Amino acid sequence: MADYQEEDLQKFLKNVDEITNLIQEMNSDDPVVQEKAVLETEKRLKFTEEDQEEDECRTTVNKTMISPPQAPTKNTDEINTEAFLASVEKDAKERAKRRRENKVLADALKEKGNEAFVKGDYETAILCYSEGLEKLKDMKVLYTNRAQAYIKLGDYQKALVDCDWALKCDEKCTKAYFHMGKAHLALKNYSVSRECYQKILEINPQLQTQVKDYLNQVDLREKADLQEKEAQEALDSGTNTAVTTKNLLEILSKPDQIPLFYAGGIEILTDMMKDCTERTLFRTHNGFSIISENEVIRRCFSTAGKDAVEETVCMSVLRLWQAVCSENEENQRLLVLCPDTGQLLPSLLASRVPNIRQQTLALLLQLAQTENGRSLIMGHLDLTGLLEALVSFLDFSDKKANSAMGLLTDLALEERFQVWFQASLPDVLLALTGVLRRDPKVTNTSALCQCIAIMGNLSAEAATRRQMSASEEFRDACLGLMAKCEEDVDLFREVMYTLLGLMMNLCLQSPFVSEVWAMEVSRKCLSLLNSQDGGILTRAAGVLSRTLVSSPKIVEEALRAGVVKKMVKFLKAGGQTASRYAVKILAICTNSYHEAREELIRLDKKLGVLMQLLGSEDEILVGNATLCLGNCMEVPHVASSLLTTDIVLVLLKLAGGDAQKTAVQLNAGIALGKLCTAEPRCTARQGAQLLLWRVPPTPRALGRAQAAAGEGTWLWDRDLSGHRRPSSSVCSIPAVSSSHSSLHPSSLAHHLPFSLSPFSLLCFPETDLPDFIFFFFLLGT
């Protein structure tokens, strides 16, 4: 920006601050401050030139209107303060209007500049941004956008100036610090570049991941700069290997030679790449462009596999790239950024020539060893083509298949890959479906398991899982592979185990896309419950615990298959994961069918297995166990069989506890209510206690609680808007306590105009927690 423009903007900003302060002082309640402000205003107006022409943010002041000439006065109180303020207000409105108009024009020019920038027309973009700044000098986004365009043109000093102006408009403009750091990096001001990026982190700590990447780039570029200096010193001193590297590159730069000429020269050059100096000289003497832009070599790549000579050239180049990229991040970056490399490497990985595929895989494995290398792969290679090519390595029965799946596993762990995968799943789902259709008898078992595990991990994301579940071909392929593995579960144990993990995630999708598919999956899992393998049993139960909820028919079929007996056996055997799945299955079955409750009682007469689970720290397990107990209380004589146990105290503790999951409290409360209703003697054994319990008044919670309580239930109901709605079953009493605690009923006796049943629901509208429902369990009399 020109010096006069900088001076103009600074003057404008200063005037804005001074005028704002004067207006505030003139409105002060202190007469002295107000009088001083009026005098200062009059003084400023005397020095204001008539018809002053300013930019969109300034004011044209007609001092004859605000302070017309008049005879000198000795009393400043006679100055018409109100008229002055009215004029200032009118002028401010006019300035605001002009600013809004200019803002519209500046925005339009910004969009026009953005369009030019996207097209790569950076000169036009700069012109548009500059015109926008003429309309609105304090629009920071125009400065940062223009700085970005200057960086694209390599004009780093101008970019830095624009970043400075953006920070004058907003000292916390992270985008300005980003472009400033990038410009300083290009100018090799590494320490200053780091300071800019670290400033971003100070302003916004949430950008830690991005800042880490920026700082890593600075480190790599500084390291590369040092390498280049040392390499040049070796060349200047006449080191044999350095001179030979330079000479070989000059020879290879000769155009239109026969393919074997280049193949031989490249092999010799590869042998020279033993040290960082030679690898750096390869880079500084345009080695990558000499190879990638050679028309003969390019033809060999495009027709590789047609004859042995072309294959030889391709193999030579791939080995050279491995040599020059070894432990050299800058060379890796330049290789990946070479034109056509993004498409070339995936296509070579899928070549019909096994040797070319193997060498390409070796190169990619080398790149993927570092975080920076993986970032280069994901940022610049055709990931769809890469994934399809890697999956095709399952055709190999040797370690190449494992290496390919290892590379895919490393990439799939990166967040950037996961984001791409979710967005591109429709394009690669066919390839993944093909994996599931493979015959495990003729496929590398370890590699197949790795690939299925990758799908399972990626399906943990809801959006990915939704797309997979929606594909009928994908679902059927899963069933098909299960059927193949069922032929010999022991032989294909690892494949079945990994596949069940994938299907567990798919079954999280609710509602199920296909009830028929869920039914078939359930049948196969019921069959697998006869396995002797603990891992298979656990995962089969996990899948079943998620498919049962999709249809009553599946539950009925599971009951006929003896699922209750098998799950009780699971619980007796122990194991937290297996127990969690087993008790969930029992909760689903007993919640729907009386026969399931009766069978559970027959297998565990005093419910000792379920009661043992109530002491677990796993809230999901405890919540389902209490649900099962509540369901079993509906079986005659079950409550009576528990008189000699401490079930009441255990359920009281859970109902009034601080579990994070309210289902634990709710289910325990319902189970306690059912128990005390079915067997009143349970209350007499425990003495007089009153438990206060609160839960959010969701319709589901209210419905379940009222249904469980039966007669003797009082509830202060609320409609959706939060207003209390009286009903015949409502009884309101004054507040007593809003804490989770046990209270003696005598402290409430004089408040109660009724007799409490063993299980009662009450709401105290005067409490400090009006949005909660309070459950009271009165035990004893």
Of the residues 381, 407, 427, the one at which a domain ends: 381
Q: Name 603's Cβ contacts closer than 8 Å, sequence gap at least 6.
A: 564, 565, 568
Q: Is residue 682 part of a domain?
A: yes
Mean pLDDT of 547-560: 93
The residue type at 1: M
Q: Is residue 688 part of a domain?
A: yes
**pLDDT computed for residue 560 by the predictor:** 94
Residue 383 scores a pLDDT above 50: yes
- Rounded CA separation 400/777 (Å): 67
Least confident of 7-11, 112-116, 488-492, 557-561: 7-11
Q: Is residue 447 part of a domain?
A: no
Query: Before 726, cis peptide (omega within 30)?
Result: no
CA 166 to chain centre: 30
Which tens digit of pLDDT belongs to each residue from 69-100?
554 544 444 456 666 666 666 667 777 777 78
Residue 299 scores a pLDDT above 70: yes
**pLDDT computed for residue 128 by the predictor:** 93
**pLDDT computed for residue 63 by the predictor:** 42
Question: How many structural domains compose the chain?
Answer: 3
pLDDT band for position 239 (50/70/90)? very high
pLDDT band for position 137 (50/70/90)? confident
Which of the given ranges, 200-214, 267-281, 509-523, 645-659, has the highest pLDDT on average? Answer: 267-281
Mean pLDDT of 51-71: 44
Which of the given ranges, 71-85, 325-339, 677-691, has the highest pLDDT on average? Answer: 325-339
Query: Before 511, cis peptide (omega within 30)?
Result: yes
Which tens digit of pLDDT belongs to each residue from 154-169?
999 999 999 999 999 8
Q: Is residue 503 part of a domain?
A: no
pLDDT band for position 32 (50/70/90)? low
pLDDT band for position 644 (50/70/90)? confident
The enclosing domain of 270 has a CATH number of 1.25.10
Is residue 374 within 8 Å of 386, Cβ to Cβ? Answer: no
Between 453 and 8, the higher pLDDT residue: 453
Residue 613 scores a pLDDT above 70: yes
**pLDDT computed for residue 627 by the predictor:** 93
How large a percentage of the chain has pLDDT more than 90? 58
Is residue 377 within 8 Å of 415, Cβ to Cβ? Answer: no
Residue 58 scores a pLDDT above 50: no
Coil, helix or strand at residue 695: strand
pLDDT band for position 9 (50/70/90)? low
Of the residues 346, 381, 416, the one at which a domain ends: 381
Mean pLDDT estimate for the chain: 82
Using alpha carbons, list the distances in angstroms from residue 404 to 397, 419, 450, 622.
12, 21, 10, 43
- Rounded CA separation 755/720 (Å): 30
Mean pLDDT of 635-653: 88
**pLDDT computed for residue 675 by the predictor:** 87
**pLDDT computed for residue 742 by the predictor:** 38
Of the residues 348, 381, 414, the one at which a domain ends: 381
**pLDDT computed for residue 573 by the predictor:** 87
**pLDDT computed for residue 739 by the predictor:** 37
Least confident of 149-158, 213-222, 689-698: 689-698
Residue 716 scores a pLDDT above 80: no
Q: Could you tell me which of 55, 23, 14, 53 has the C-alpha nearest to residue 168? A: 14
Residue 391 scores a pLDDT above 90: yes
Is residue 449 within 8 Å of 405, Cβ to Cβ? Answer: no
Residue 152 scores a pLDDT above 80: yes
Q: Could you tell me which of 73, 58, 75, 63 has the C-alpha nearest to residue 9? A: 58
Q: Is residue 672 part of a domain?
A: yes
Token pair 């379920």: residue:
610
Coil, helix or strand at residue 565: helix
Q: Is residue 475 part of a domain?
A: no
Provide the sign of the torsion angle of the four alpha carbons 88, 91, 96, 102, taken in this order.
negative
Residue 3 scores a pLDDT above 80: no
For 285, half-sphere exposure in the C-beta direction (CA atoms, 13 angstrom radius) is 23
- Which structural domain range is residue 66 located in? 3-100
How large a percentage of the chain has pLDDT more than 70? 76
Q: Is residue 336 part of a domain?
A: yes
Q: Is residue 316 part of a domain?
A: yes
pLDDT band for position 740 (50/70/90)? very low
Mean pLDDT of 386-411: 94
pLDDT band for position 775 (50/70/90)? very low
Least confident of 174-183, 605-614, 687-696: 687-696
**pLDDT computed for residue 209 by the predictor:** 87
Mean pLDDT of 105-127: 92
**pLDDT computed for residue 266 by the predictor:** 96
Least confident of 49-63, 253-267, 314-328, 712-726: 712-726
**pLDDT computed for residue 754 by the predictor:** 42
